[in-house]
């Protein structure tokens, strides 16, 4: 009997100097955030802080003196890493994790989401879960969390971590300044109305101090 197909979420960090142009990345489910600088993705200009989804083979070109991207890609498990290549380009795979908390048969539909969370100084969250997994990456402050399947020790800006979804998490931000981080997540498509996904054990809604910003919400078929 054939084993069910699974998928793996990859997270990359790419740097490009001005005028650099990459070889094409393969066609896949891909979200790109410009962390610094300015780039063109298949000729579409993205400035710092902007993001997009694409399933096309992607050529990325540097349009600023120095640019850095964060890139989330969902591929069938067993796919090799897809590093950005070309002159004056530096690309590394920061993390990859197999998605085991969702049953994703061929032809099923999901939501690929990129969003940002802000936690005020000293915030410790109530225990909570999410309906799907994802790779987070810290923008500002610091972050740590209790999670049974994969503990999350202190993270600093630029550090990624994995949250499996149904495992309960208690998260802690920096004690003396705000904490902000990006989340690249795979979710059931019923969340496509743009709502937050956390289910809180002790409260029905997160505190008003939490700030949520949506960048990408795209239905995909695997």
The residue from 64, 95, 126 where one domain ends is 95
Predicted confidence at residue 196, as pLDDT, reads 78
Does one domain contain both 118 and 47? Answer: no
Does one domain contain both 51 and 91? Answer: yes
Residues 183/198, Cβ–Cβ less than 8 Å: no
Residues 89/25, Cβ–Cβ less than 8 Å: no
Domain count, the chain: 2
Predicted confidence at residue 1, as pLDDT, reads 40
**CATH assignment of the domain containing 155:** 2.60.120.10
Closest CA relative to residue 6, chosen from 88, 101, 95 = 101
2, part of any domain: no
How many angstroms separate the CA atoms of 214 and 217, rounded? 7
100, part of any domain: no
188, part of any domain: yes
Predicted confidence at residue 182, as pLDDT, reads 98
Does one domain contain both 212 and 114? Answer: yes
185, part of any domain: yes
Integer angstrom CA distances of residue 194 from 177, 181, 189: 27, 18, 10
Residues 11/135, Cβ–Cβ less than 8 Å: yes
Does one domain contain both 65 and 123? Answer: no
pTM score, two decimals? Answer: 0.94
Does one domain contain both 41 and 144? Answer: no
Residues of the chain below pLDDT 50: 1-2, 209
Predicted confidence at residue 210, as pLDDT, reads 57
Domain that holds residue 46: 7-95
85, part of any domain: yes
Mind giving me the DSSP string for 154-206?
A: EE-TT-EEEE-SSS-EEEEE-SSS-EEEEEEEEEEGGGTT-----EESS-SS-
């Amino acid at each position: 009997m054939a084993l069910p197909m699974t998928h793996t979420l990859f997270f990359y960090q790419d740097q490009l100097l001005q005028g650099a142009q990459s070889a094409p990345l393969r066609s896949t489910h891909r979200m790109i955030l410009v962390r610094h600088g300015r780039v063109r993705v298949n000729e579409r200009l993205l400035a710092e802080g902007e993001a997009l989804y694409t399933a096309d083979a992607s050529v990325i070109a540097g349009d600023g003196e120095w640019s850095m991207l964060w890139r989330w890609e969902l591929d069938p498990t067993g796919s090799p890493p897809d590093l950005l290549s070309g002159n004056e380009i530096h690309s590394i795979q920061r993390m990859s994790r197999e998605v085991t908390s969702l049953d994703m048969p061929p032809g099923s539909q999901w939501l690929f989401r990129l969003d940002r969370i802000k936690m005020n100084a000293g915030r410790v969250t109530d225990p909570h879960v999410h309906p799907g997994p994802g790779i987070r990456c810290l923008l500002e402050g610091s972050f740590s969390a209790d999670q049974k399947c994969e503990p999350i020790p202190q993270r600093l800006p630029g550090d990624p971590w994995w949250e499996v979804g149904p495992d309960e998490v208690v998260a802690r931000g920096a004690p003396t300044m705000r904490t902000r981080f990006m989340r690249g997540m795979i979710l059931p498509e019923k969340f496509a109305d743009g709502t937050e996904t956390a289910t809180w054990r002790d409260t029905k809604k997160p505190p008003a101090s939490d700030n949520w910003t949506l960048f990408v919400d795209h239905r995909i078929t695997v």
